[in-house]
Amino acid sequence: MPAQWTTVVPETSNPVTLECDCYVHQFGAIAPRRRESYYETDMTDAEWALVRASMPMPAWMESRGGRPEEYCHRDMIDAVRYVVDNGAKWSAVPPDFPWWRAVYDFFRRWRAHGYVRELYQRLRRANRVARGRSAEPTAGIIDAQSVDGADTVVMSRGFDGNKKRDGRKRSILTDTCGDLLEVIVTPADVHDSKPAPAVLDRYMDEPGRLLKLVWADSAYQGQPLADAFARHGVRVEVVQRPDGTRGFTVLARRWVVERTLGQLSRARRLNRDHERRPDHHEQMVWWAGLITLTRRIAGERRHWPDRRPGRRSGPQLA
């Protein structure tokens, strides 16, 4: 495991009791205080405890260069979650969060180093072990979803004639619990089966993978696709619709990935693609998945903001 993913245990002799235990508050030079939680997307203490245990270690703490950061990590993550879940512009980040440009730079820095993907994978593995499963799955489900693109989407854009979507397509691979394993974004006019080998290659290239079987729909057929999967020792099994069925039908195994796609679509930043770069869209998928994953592990559920435990009441109208 890379050194930047190790966890530092603070010294117990520190006489100052901090309200926030992020690296910046513990070892940086900012005031020992924490922003009061209000928004629905703000992490609860239980969610933050999960994220804090897997946070990347800043370079300045390991003498690898850079200066101490100026903003709380918890505030930064909450700000990105606010943008992803509410579909806001970066410049529309509320003023009680850090400066929007600093939040965007934080998002870009985590994209460049793959931190949010690694954070998600660490939480996914820990959750599987806690449920009595192996850390890595042996079976998965693959599917794709097309979304319309805004006028800001210029690079890698296409028209999906089947779904009547003009924008991009996100292909995802999940385990049998519905947790994300890999994400790739392509133009919407690319057939579902074309990115599938790249999705599997990216996932299987990392050590310790145990995947042996992937369920898919009828779009993932053909000898070239089977050969691409066979290079990794993975078998593709197509789940067909029963003969004579019309309309919506729950299909074995495939409903899991469909549920994940539906959960991702609840994040308003993913309802319509606004990202200029495809890799930024991929990061938005990981962030949206992280919101769902931390809530599920921590036993949280969605509440109205004024009814969620620990939230202050909003402004009262005259």
**Tens digits of per-residue pLDDT, 104-135?**
999 998 999 889 999 999 999 999 999 999 99
Check: CB of residue 169 under 8 Å from CB of residue 241: no
pLDDT digits (tens, 9 = 90+) for 48-88: 999 988 877 766 566 666 666 778 889 999 999 999 999 99
Q: What integer is the mean pLDDT of 279-297?
A: 95
Task: Using the predicted structure, report yes or no on whether residue 16 has a pLDDT greater than 50.
Answer: no
Q: What integer is the mean pLDDT of 229-254?
A: 85
Task: Using the predicted structure, report yes or no on whether residue 28 has a pLDDT greater than 70.
Answer: no
Task: Using the predicted structure, report yes or no on whether residue 7 has a pLDDT greater than 50.
Answer: no
Residue 95 is encoded by which pair of tokens? 């003023």
CA atoms within 13 A on the CB side of 291: 28
DSSP symbol at 180: E
Residues paired with 174 in a beta bridge: 141, 180
Report the pLDDT value the prediction gives residue 288, as an integer from 0 to 100: 96
Which of 22-31, 81-90, 194-203 has the least mean pLDDT?
A: 22-31
Which of 62-66, 118-122, 207-211, 238-242 has the least mean pLDDT?
A: 62-66
Give the whole-angstrom CA distance, residue 93 versus residue 16. Answer: 31
Task: Using the predicted structure, report yes or no on whether residue 8 has a pLDDT greater than 60.
Answer: no
CATH (residue range 136-242+249-274): 3.30.420.10
Percent of the chain past pLDDT 70, that is, above it, reads: 81
Where b means 16+ CB within 10 Å and e means fewer, 129-167 reads eeeeeeebbebbbbbbbbbbbeeebeebebebeeeebbb
Give the whole-angstrom CA distance, residue 260 versus residue 176. Answer: 11
Task: Using the predicted structure, report yes or no on whether residue 229 has a pLDDT greater than 80.
Answer: yes
SS3 call for 221: coil
Percent of the chain past pLDDT 90, that is, above it, reads: 60
What's the predicted TM-score (pTM) here?
0.85
Where does the pLDDT of residue 143 fall: very low under 50, low under 70, confident under 90, or very high at 90 and above? very high
Give the whole-angstrom CA distance, residue 115 versus residue 144. Answer: 24
Residue 165 is encoded by which pair of tokens? 């979507």
> 104: exposed, middle or buried (C-beta count within 10 Å: 0-12, 13-18, 19+)?
middle
pLDDT digits (tens, 9 = 90+) for 152-174: 898 889 999 988 999 999 999 99
Check: CB of residue 48 under 8 Å from CB of residue 32: no
Residue by residue, DSSP assigns 1-64 as --GGG--PPPPTT-----S--SHHHHHSSS-S--PPP-STTSPPHHHHHHHHTTPPPPGGGGTS
Report the pLDDT value the prediction gives residue 135, as an integer from 0 to 100: 95
Where does the pLDDT of residue 181 fall: very low under 50, low under 70, confident under 90, or very high at 90 and above? very high
Report the pLDDT value the prediction gives residue 55, as an integer from 0 to 100: 79
Radius of gyration of the chain (CA): 21
Task: Using the predicted structure, report yes or no on whether residue 9 has a pLDDT greater than 50.
Answer: no
Report the pLDDT value the prediction gives residue 154, as an integer from 0 to 100: 86
Task: Using the predicted structure, report yes or no on whether residue 3 has a pLDDT greater than 50.
Answer: no
Which of 10-14, 99-103, 143-147 has the least mean pLDDT?
A: 10-14
Phi–psi pair at 144, nearest 5 degrees? -135, 155
Residues paired with 167 in a beta bridge: 148, 158
Give the whole-angstrom CA distance, residue 126 versus residue 190. Answer: 34
Where does the pLDDT of residue 302 fall: very low under 50, low under 70, confident under 90, or very high at 90 and above? low
**Domain residue extents for the chain:** 3-113, 136-242+249-274
Tell me how many degrees the CA angle 26-4-6 measures, rounded to the nearest 5: 70
Q: What integer is the mean pLDDT of 246-274?
A: 89
Torsion of Cα atoms, 178 then 39 then 99 then 88, to 10°: 60
If you average pLDDT over every residue of the chain, what do you get? 84
pLDDT higher at 302 or 172:
172
